[in-house]
Amino acid sequence: MADPAIVIKDSFFKGDPDKAKGQWDDNALGFGNCRDIAIVNCVIQANGVAEGLKLSNVWDVNVKNCIISGGYEDCVDIVRGGRITFDGCVFVALNTKHHFTIKCQVSQVTIKNSLFLNPFRHWWDGACIDLGNWSDYDIDDLPKTKGIRIENCRLMNMPFYKKILSRAIFAQKPLVKNTKGLNLRIPSLFVKLFWKLRRWQVAKK
């Protein structure tokens, strides 16, 4: 097997809240429109920006033995792309909306042997892994988020009412193995109404 095109090892990344100054959602480490990436033994801290790690239209990614701390949005945000694996990682919520957001047009993401640490912000609008939420890349005949696997993971330092492992909006149900936590599925009627509202809001701009 060929070596990854991009390899990042034993590195530290920290978000800079002064760079965006609230004008856009920034991240500590981000990749867009590329493929074949390995991120190994790294510490990634949002430090007050939106996300720790952002992957946008990225394919064939392996993230191993990393500690990723969240910002006001997520520890990890994925929009478009697929064939992504997280193995042996720690996702640290720090008043973070979700540990993970995996939006539409994403497929084949595996999260295994990992730890979700600390509760996400609001039990009524959050989950450790938020699946198939709205994104700015909405298209006609939008494909659902699919092929998500969660294996041998733990939730730690969370009250019982926030042990929501996943929330599927416009997404197929994730495959969960040897991982405790509630898996919610939003009824399709509510999803259709939500999408109509968001598309109407975008059209008004």
What pLDDT does 121 receive?
94
What pLDDT does 92 receive?
98
Integer Cα distance of 97 and 100 in angstroms: 9
pLDDT at 56 over 70: yes
pTM of structure: 0.93
Is there a contact between 77 and 49 (Cβ–Cβ < 8 Å)?
A: no
What pLDDT does 202 receive?
75
Integer Cα distance of 100 and 93 in angstroms: 10
pLDDT digits (tens, 9 = 90+) for 120-163: 999 888 999 999 988 777 777 788 999 999 999 999 999 999 99
Is there a contact between 118 and 162 (Cβ–Cβ < 8 Å)?
A: no
Integer Cα distance of 113 and 63 in angstroms: 12
CA atoms within 13 A on the CB side of 36: 6
Share the mean pLDDT of the chain: 92
What pLDDT does 196 receive?
84
Is there a contact between 100 and 84 (Cβ–Cβ < 8 Å)?
A: no
Contacts of 187 (CB under 8 A, 6+ apart): none
pLDDT at 1 over 60: no
pLDDT digits (tens, 9 = 90+) for 157-181: 999 999 999 999 999 999 999 999 9
Integer Cα distance of 23 and 4 in angstroms: 34
The residues facing 34 across adjacent strands are: 58
What pLDDT does 193 receive?
87
Integer Cα distance of 183 and 173 in angstroms: 8
173 compared with 200, residue with greater pLDDT: 173
* pLDDT confidence tier of residue 23, bands split at 50, 70 and 90: low
What pLDDT does 110 receive?
98
* pLDDT confidence tier of residue 4, bands split at 50, 70 and 90: confident
pLDDT digits (tens, 9 = 90+) for 88-118: 999 999 999 999 999 989 999 999 999 999 9
What pLDDT does 197 receive?
84
pLDDT at 65 over 60: yes
Angle at 13 between CA 11 and CA 17, to 5 degrees: 170
pLDDT at 21 over 70: no
